[in-house]
Each structure stands twice: as C-alpha cells, then as structure tokens.
Amino acid sequence: MQSFVLVKTLTYLILPPGLLATGTIAGLLLAALGVRQLGAMVVLLGVFVNCAFAFPPLSDALLFHLEDQARAAALATPRCCFHAIVVLGGGVAPAVPPERDFPSLTGSADRVWLAARLYKNGVAPRIIVSGGGFMAQSNEFATTEAEAMRRFLRDLGVPDEAIIDEGKSDNTIENIFNVRAMVKDRPVALVTSAYHMPRALQIARTAKLDASAFPAEFRALRSTRPTWENWLPTVESTGDTILALHEMLAIAFDWRDGNHGQ
C-alpha cells in the first residue's frame, strides 16, 4: 500500500469526524461484549478529542510547528534565477463534468497566485503546474489540476507558452518525482502551502530535486483574532488541526527510498 493511501485511511479513522464514529462503534461493540465501562470510556474519549480539536490554540500550535519550518526554509532561499517555478496541486480543483464544468478555486489558491507573482518578478522563465485528476479526460474540460492551474495562470496574465503541464501525478510524492524527471538537476522554486512545505521539501530531498522554498497560504494567524475567540470552538480550527496532523502523519510515513511514487 502506498504511504499516501495509508495516511489518508488513518486520517479518516483516527481524526475527527471519523474518530467520533470509530470511537462510538468501538464503544458499542465493547458494550455488546459486556465491557460497558470500557465502552463508555472509549465513546467519551472520542467526544473529548473531537471537542479539543475545535479549539484554536491547538490548531495554532500544530500549524506553527509546520509553518515555522517553512519560514526558516524560505529565509534560506535565493530570490531569483531558477530553471522553473513548480506549483504543487491543491490550489485549484479540476472540472468534474457534468456536475461542474469549470475548475474551482480552493482555500489553497494562494499557491497559484504566488506562482504568477514570482513569474512576473523574474524568479524563473517558466512555471510547471503539477497535479493530475481522478476524473481526467481528454476533452475541452480542465479535468486535471495541472490544466486547471494553467487556465488560472493565464487569467492572471502568465503567457500560455511559459506554462508546462505535469498532469499525471495523484499525490505529493508523484508531484515531486515527476517534476524531478522533467528538470533533472536544475534548481526550481517550489510553491505550496506553508503547512505542506516541510513534507514537500522532505520528499524533494529524497528525490534529489534541487528545490527552494516559496511557501504560500499561512493559516496560523492568531494575532488577527480577538483573544477571547481563542477559546471558542470553531469548524475552521477543527479543519486546521486535521490538516496539520495529516501532514505530520504523512511526514512520518514517507519513509521509503528513492522509488517514491514510481
């Protein structure tokens, strides 16, 4: 089983909201087997963890752990003269006809916007957009992340001839290794969300991709919220906690050698 499949499965089962369902089912089974006290404790644990994940201080702490690594990597990065700007998928959801005929911007669309700004600032003469699509089709619809990002970049003023598609990858491991095959040993400016950058750089090192960090979409912004809001549970904090823990799990499980994604 590829590590990204394992990580996704674990995420669904041990993080909210899946944890609540998993804990409830396990608790009911234990109760049915006559271990009622333990069953009740398992259910209550699931409820407690689901509630804890919704508080901003926890999501802030986990995101800061990842985003501070991205900041440090960005500070050590030169500002120009790369072979290409590489944008990892996740910023634009591809079209899914007939339900949705057009691509859709996600909460990580800052990745693509930053890539356009870097291109216009002369950081590199080309942009590689990396990302496939489960429903990829050969038609007029942008059914891969790469094609969806290409269209967004064109709308942002990047010339079509400066955009190169890598539309076969289904996850970060394949993103990085497919790009490495395209650029060889030449340096690239790697653009992805700040919370995702530590994992992307780890995979780049394994793939021997000469990548420098240009993080986007910093999410841990506690200075922008009133102090009293730090102690109100929110759906957004639950999502941020899950994002951060997902990345940490992925970093822990991306342990294989140079055959990643191949």
Domains and CATH numbers, the chain: 3-16+53-217+229-253 (3.40.50.620)
Q: 10 is written with which tokens? A: 């674990």
Say what the pLDDT of residue 257 is.
43
Rounded to two decimals, what is the model's pTM? Answer: 0.88
Q: What is the mean pLDDT of each run of 10 residues along the chain (262 residues)?
A: 66 80 90 91 89 92 96 93 96 88 92 97 97 70 90 96 94 95 97 97 96 95 82 91 91 62 40
What is the phi/psi pair of residue 51, to 5°?
-70, -45
Residue 179 confidence (pLDDT): 97
Please tell me the predicted confidence (pLDDT) of residue 98.
82
Which residues 6+ apart lie within 8 Å of 190 measured at CB?
86, 88, 197, 200, 201, 204, 209, 211, 212, 213, 214
Buried b / exposed e across 110-122, counting CB within 10 Å, b at 16+? bbbbbbbbbbeee
User: Considering Cα of 189, then 207, then 174, then 73, what sign does the dihedral take?
Assistant: negative
Contact 207, 176 (CB under 8 A): yes
pLDDT of residue 4: 64
pLDDT at 136: 60
Query: What is the residue type of 70?
Result: A
Cβ atoms of residues 88 and 196 within 8 Å: yes
Strand partners, 75: none
Peptide bond into 98 cis (omega under 30): yes
